[in-house]
Amino acid sequence: DVTFTVTPVCDVVAENTTSTADMTEGETKTLTGAPTGGTWSIVSGGGNISGTTYTPADINTDTDVTIRYTIAADGD
């Protein structure tokens, strides 16, 4: 399972529109969010983010991953 959480930080709300579909550790997931120009961070579950691509860690059991999309306080 993969969990994605969005936390608003200002009047302009960051929207993480990344698919919540399950994936295997051999796959990657394209991260999508609005407005453009935000930053991605892994809150829990491990793995790596490069640009807008998430690559899971090498795991031994099912792992939930939470990824946050954050925008600047002024929405730019």
Q: What is the pLDDT of residues 11-43, one digit of tens each?
A: 677 899 999 999 999 999 999 999 999 999 999
Output the pLDDT for position 19: 94
**Omega into 8 within 30° of 0, i.e. cis?**
no
**By the 8 A CB rule, do 35 and 66 touch?**
no
Residue 5, CB half-sphere, CA atoms under 13 Å: how many? 10
- pTM, full prediction: 0.78
Q: What does the domain layout of the chain look like in residue ranges?
A: 3-70
First-last CA distance in the chain: 32
